[in-house]
Structure formats: C-alpha cells, structure tokens
Amino acid sequence: MDDTSHTNSPSRRRFLGGVALGGMGLVAGRAMAEGHAAGAPDPLITELQDWANGLGDGVDATPYGMPIRFEGDVIRRNVPWLTADPISSINFTPIHALDGTITPQGCAFERHHSGAIELAKEDYRLMINGLVDRPLVFTYADLERFPRVNHVYFCECAANTGMEWAGAQLNGAQFTHGMIHNMEYTGVKLSTLLEEAGVNPEGKWVYVEGADASSNGRSIPLEKAMDDVIVAFKANGEALRKEHGYPVRLVVPGWEGNMWVKWLRRIEVAAQAVESREETSKYTDTMADGTSRKWTWVMDAKSVVTSPSPQMPITHGPGPLVISGMAWSGRGKITRVDVSTDGGMNWQTARLAGEPGNKALTRFYLDTQWDGSEMLLQSRAIDETGYVQPTKEELRAVRGENSVYHNNCIQTWHVKTTGEAENVEVS
C-alpha cells in the first residue's frame, strides 16, 4: 500500500489547459474513510427496516432477471452527434461501472451498419462455397452437431477511442473506451467447418458476410480462419442477443470488431481478398503524410483506468483508494500493467486480478492511499510480445491527428481534490 508515485518535482508536466498541478495538501473538511465508529447510532443498524418486516418477491416475479433498479444507469449509451442515425450507429459499454472481466450481453456495445435484424434459428442457414471440394449449407441444428469450443475473447471496434486523436474530447471511460466487450463464446471452430467442406490449395482467403442488409462483407486470410476463429452461437452461456448476431456470429480473436460478422450467412473461400467492395476499404488508417495504413487487423495492447474516471468520481476522502481498470492485447496475453498518478513521470506496477487471458480483458487494481491531492491518472499495458502501450504523443508522431482507427494510446484522467475526474492530455 506504499504510494511512491508522488513527487514535488518542479519539472512536473502541465496538462491541456495549461494548469499546473497544485500542492499536496489534504482537502479541507474531508473526513478520513471510516464508518460510524463513534457518534450517533446508525438507524440502519439499530432500527428494524421495512425489508426485514415483510416478505420479498416470490420466485416467479421475474422469469428472466434484470438488474435491480438502483443499477438503472449502468446501461449502454449513445453519443447522438457521432453518427447520422441510430440504425447505422454505435453505442458504448458502461465499462466505468463494471468490474471483473466479463461483459454482460445486455450492456455490451452494439455496432450495426443497417440495424440489428431478427433472424430465427429455423430460418438460419450458413453456406460455405468458393474454392472447396464440397459446397455446403448448414442449418442451426447442423452446427450443434460439431465438436464445440469455449473461449473468452474481447471484441473491440477499430474506432474505439477514435474521437480522441485531435484532443481530449469525450468525458467518460464509457465514451472514450466503451466500444469493447469481453465474453465467453461457445461455438464450432471455423477450421472444423472448412475442413468439412475441403479447402482447395488455391484458397488463401475467406470472404465472410452477414444476413443483414449491409452484409458487412470482410476478407480474412485463410491462415487466421484456420487458426482460432469461432462460428459462435452462445455468449456468456446463453444464446447470442439479437444485437450481437443471433443466432450465429463470427468471433475473430484479437482482430478488429468489424471482422466479427454477425448473423453470419456465407463463407466463400477465395484465392484473393475481395477488395472491390466499399466496406473493405473503410477501415484504413490515414497517416500523418496522407498515406493509408491498410489491413491493420490486430488490435494492439491497450488499457484504461475505469475507476476513478469522469463517470466514477472518488466519493470518499483521503485514505484507502482502489484504482481499477482493464487491459487487453490482440497479440496474446497481458503481462504487466503500470499505473501513474502523476501523468507518466512515475509508475507503479498494478496487481493483475486472476490469470491474464489470451486476447481477453485482464482486470488490474492498484490498492493505494490517496492523500487528497490532484492526480494525473494513467495506465500502461504491456503484452507478452513485449509491446508497450504508447503515449498519445508517441502515437501521433507516427500516425498524425487525422486518424480515426486504432487509437491505443495511454489515457489520462485529471482527478481533482474534490474527487471529480476529467479527460485531459498531458504534454
């Protein structure tokens, strides 16, 4: 619990807006974190409460349970001005309010190009055609007869954090980093189905598309398709929700979300990538010199402090403080996460909760003591390839400010003496 991160260095960096960090003083009037150790008796302890004086709901009150009403603001949220309409739009996972690693489907972000469609299992067909020995069509029931796998993976939209390139913009981890979810998928390996169809030697790519109007057609190298891609029908133990591709979606571990085709209807084995279609050129990154980075499928290591953060202010005074966040890498496992409370001058190694998963979210904690002074809170992820999450300056130096996709830079929250937090940049 020893917090070694605070220094009084005069060279302490300034953050956007030009305000220098203040002193180290405690907040006036703030009590230490403690219960009702002394003083007036607590009626919640001494008095009989309503909920103990009558009966609760019977077992059939909610055949399918929803979160209790007190958690009613832990929901997906949209930023209306980002896109023209909610049909071809995106919303954000309330990552600031979640803990652990698994994202409940009910609040996992959605991204649709032509809306979430309703497709019954009975009407579901999956076709494999192209450069195969036997073109095949599977029903949903057919898919259930192949050997199954279970894996936890994150799915991150390539546009996650995309609004933050030019400057700190959206005030909340939900909005800056919420185009991500992490679920346990059950399904059949794509390689199992491709082997059933028999891929011809000329086959080097698969073109995958969905049953919705946009089709969201994408080309995936055969090597990846045969590696860890899953044709999934369950998430977190239950059927996929409509908005996540019911009844079947593609899971493309570690790769950008747009390749995770929902309402999967066709897989065509091809000699080349289908590039002529408009969609395949959408997810390119514009570099500082105007050229494009293309086929940047893998999501690089990234992390964010989810609490404290703008939507999760510190509501207690100085004393014990749990700093929490999540880290992930499309290249494998997270090996270390560092946390800084002074804008990246000093770093402490955070505690990883549980074994880091492969291409899955890892939860980290820094159990620290807050002295009540301002903090410039950051986290920095390192993955098993040795890759270190870059600062915003480092990333801009390579990609410029005109990029939209693949912004995996270190995020800074300015935590004030009041405990409130704000999205800022250090420079």
Ligand X SMILES: Nc1nc2c(c(=O)[nH]1)N[C@H]1C(S)=C(S)[C@@H](COP(=O)(O)O)O[C@H]1N2
Residues 6+ apart with CB under 8 A from 341: 3, 5, 6, 323, 368, 375, 376, 377
Amino acid in position 244: H
Residue 260 in contact with ligand X, rule: CB under 6 A: yes
Site for ligand X in 75-114 (CB under 6 A): 108-113
Amino acid in position 395: L
- Binding residue for Mo ion, selected from 92, 94, 101, 111, defined by CB under 5 A: 111
Residue 407 in contact with ligand X, rule: CB under 6 A: no
What span, in angstroms and rounded, lies between the C-alpha atoms of 379 and 13?
A: 17
What span, in angstroms and rounded, lies between the C-alpha atoms of 360 and 129?
A: 31
Beta carbon of residue 356, minimum distance to ligand X (angstroms, whole number): 22
306 binds, among Mo ion, ligand X, none (CB under 5 to 8 A by kind): none
Pairing of strands 230-235, 249-251: antiparallel
- Binding residue for Mo ion, selected from 105, 160, 236, 258, defined by CB under 5 A: 258
Amino acid in position 123: D
Residue 302 in contact with ligand X, rule: CB under 6 A: no
* Nearer CB in complex with ligand X: 151/380: 151
Site for Mo ion in 142-161 (CB under 5 A): 157
Beta carbon of residue 181, minimum distance to ligand X (angstroms, whole number): 6
Smallest CA-to-CA distance from 377 within 410, 418, 328 is with: 410
DSSP-assigned letters across all residues of 90-101: EEE--TTT--SS
Element (H or E) spanning 363, and its range?
strand 362-370
What span, in angstroms and rounded, lies between the C-alpha atoms of 373 and 308?
A: 14
- Binding residue for ligand X, selected from 126, 173, 261, 327, defined by CB under 6 A: 261
Region of 254-262, 372-380, 384-392, 393-401 interacting with ligand X (CB under 6 A): 254-262
DSSP-assigned letters across all residues of 404-426: -S---PPPEEEE-TTS-EEEE-B
Residue 253 in contact with ligand X, rule: CB under 6 A: no
224 binds, among ligand X, Mo ion, none (CB under 5 to 8 A by kind): none
Pairing of strands 111-112, 412-415: unpaired
Beta carbon of residue 282, minimum distance to Mo ion (angstroms, whole number): 9
* Nearer CB in complex with ligand X: 258/306: 258
Residue 186 in contact with Mo ion, rule: CB under 5 A: no
By the criterion CB under 5 A, which residues form the site for Mo ion?
111, 157, 257-258
By the criterion CB under 6 A, which residues form the site for ligand X?
108-113, 155, 157, 181, 210, 212, 214, 216, 243-244, 257-258, 260-263
